[in-house]
């Protein structure tokens, strides 16, 4: 099992995905982002892991092939060496394509996550505005309830309400109290949503940062494969029976170093 920097980047995102999926009590717009983020990661992470598997397999194969060629270098003609390197190029090509596809998908996913974070900030502003409006309404409702209570005690003291008046006053007080309770309930609900939303936003920000790291790792892999393919091509082009074997040995050694770096980067 690989445990290098790419594997760690993947693991970090998997852990954040589990945390993000665990949030509850979010506003509806944030729930939509939560669900779309989970779906995005469910699609992308297996692709990244498959790409990692293919790159590591390629690297191990190339290490073996290059070491074998270096061991028999002095017994091989230029044409034989060229054929061996062309086979290496053939093996690199499909993996190079897979890496580039994964980089493209990773960049698109990263951009989606960044846009989601912007939307989450806007949702938070909207919730804060809703709280402010409800608190203003609650202040008015509490004032109305207080006024009715004062009128009740005043009219009771005067003894002018009578039974019908008492019933009417009780109805008005009940309505006013229900209004206060309803507004307070809405405020409490939104406050809970804000608390959950802010925790969710913190995790999606962390996801964005970790995703940027992942894309950087993928881009580095793409560059490593591009350099390797180019250098193998240069060696193939320069091969000739007149080229000193010591020089060819050096070129093969450089290619092997690049393969070793590729394996490390993909781990």
Cα–chain-centroid distance for residue 42? 11
Query: 259: buried, middle or exposed (CB in 10 Å: 19+, 13-18, 0-12)?
Result: buried
Q: Which helix (H) or strand (E) holds 43?
A: helix 28-71
> Using an 8 Å Cβ cutoff, are 21 and 228 in contact?
no
Identify whether 149 is part of a domain.
no
Q: What is the pLDDT of residue 113?
A: 94
Mean pLDDT computed over 27-55: 95
Q: Count of domains in the chain? A: 1
Q: How many CB atoms lie within 10 A of CB 250?
A: 11
188 occurs within a structural domain: no
Percent of residues, the chain, with pLDDT higher than 90: 51
Assigned domain for 32 exists: yes
The predicted structure's pLDDT at residue 224:
92
Q: Is residue 159 assigned to a domain?
A: no
pLDDT-based confidence at residue 204 (cuts at 50, 70, 90): very high
Mean pLDDT across the chain: 87
- Specify if 175 maps to a domain: no
What are 212-264's pLDDT values in tens digits? 999 999 999 999 999 999 988 888 887 776 778 888 888 889 999 999 999 99
d(Cα 16, Cα 217) in Å, to the nearest integer? 18
Residue 227: give the domain boundaries: 5-135+195-266
Mean pLDDT, rounded, for 34-38 = 96
Please state, in angstroms and rounded to a whole number, the distance separating the CA atoms of residues 106 and 242. Answer: 46
Q: Helices (H), strands (E): how many in the chain?
A: 5, 0
Stronger pLDDT, 188 or 43, i.e. the higher one: 43
Q: Answer whether 9's CB lies under 8 Å from 265's CB.
A: no
Using the structure block, give the residue that is written with the tokens 């940062």. 209
Residue 113 lies in a domain: yes
Q: What pTM, to 2 d.p., does this model score? A: 0.79
Q: Mean pLDDT throughout 90-115?
A: 94
The CB density around residue 94, as the number of other CB atoms within 10 Å, is 11
How much is the pLDDT for 153? 65
Least confident of 72-81, 98-107, 159-168, 186-195: 159-168
Q: Residue 145: pLDDT above 80? A: no
110 domain-assigned: yes
In CATH, what number is assigned to the domain containing residue 232? 1.20.1170.10
At residue 215, the pLDDT reads 93
* Residue 20 resides in a domain: yes
1 pLDDT above the threshold of 50: no
pLDDT tens string 156-203: 655 555 656 666 767 777 887 888 788 888 878 878 888 888 889 999
Q: How many CB atoms lie within 10 A of CB 215?
A: 20
């Amino acid at each position: 099992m690989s445990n290098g920097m790419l594997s760690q980047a993947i693991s970090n995102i998997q852990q954040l995905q589990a945390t993000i999926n665990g949030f509850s009590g979010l506003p509806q717009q944030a729930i939509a982002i939560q669900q779309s983020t989970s779906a995005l990661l469910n699609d992308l992470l297996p692709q990244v892991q498959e790409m990692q598997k293919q790159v590591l397999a390629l690297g191990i194969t190339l290490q073996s092939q290059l070491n074998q060629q270096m061991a028999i270098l002095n017994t091989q003609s230029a044409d034989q060496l060229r054929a061996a390197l062309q086979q290496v190029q053939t093996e690199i090509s499909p993996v190079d394509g897979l890496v580039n596809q994964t980089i493209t998908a990773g960049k698109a996913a990263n951009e989606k996550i960044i846009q989601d974070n912007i939307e989450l900030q806007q949702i938070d502003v909207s919730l804060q505005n809703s709280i402010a409006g409800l608190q203003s309404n609650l202040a008015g409702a509490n004032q109305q309830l207080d006024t009715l209570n004062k009128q009740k005690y005043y009219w009771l003291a005067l003894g002018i309400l009578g039974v019908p008046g008492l019933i009417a006053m009780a109805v008005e007080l009940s309505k006013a109290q229900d209004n206060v309770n309803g507004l307070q309930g809405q405020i409490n609900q939104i406050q809970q949503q804000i608390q959950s939303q802010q925790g969710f936003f913190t995790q999606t920000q962390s996801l964005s940062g970790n995703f940027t790291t992942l894309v950087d790792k993928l881009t580095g892999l793409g560059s490593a494969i591009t350099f390797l393919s180019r250098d193998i091509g240069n060696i193939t082009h320069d091969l000739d029976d007149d080229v000193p074997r010591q020089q060819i040995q050096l070129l093969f050694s450089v290619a092997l170093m690049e393969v070793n770096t590729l394996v490390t980067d993909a781990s």
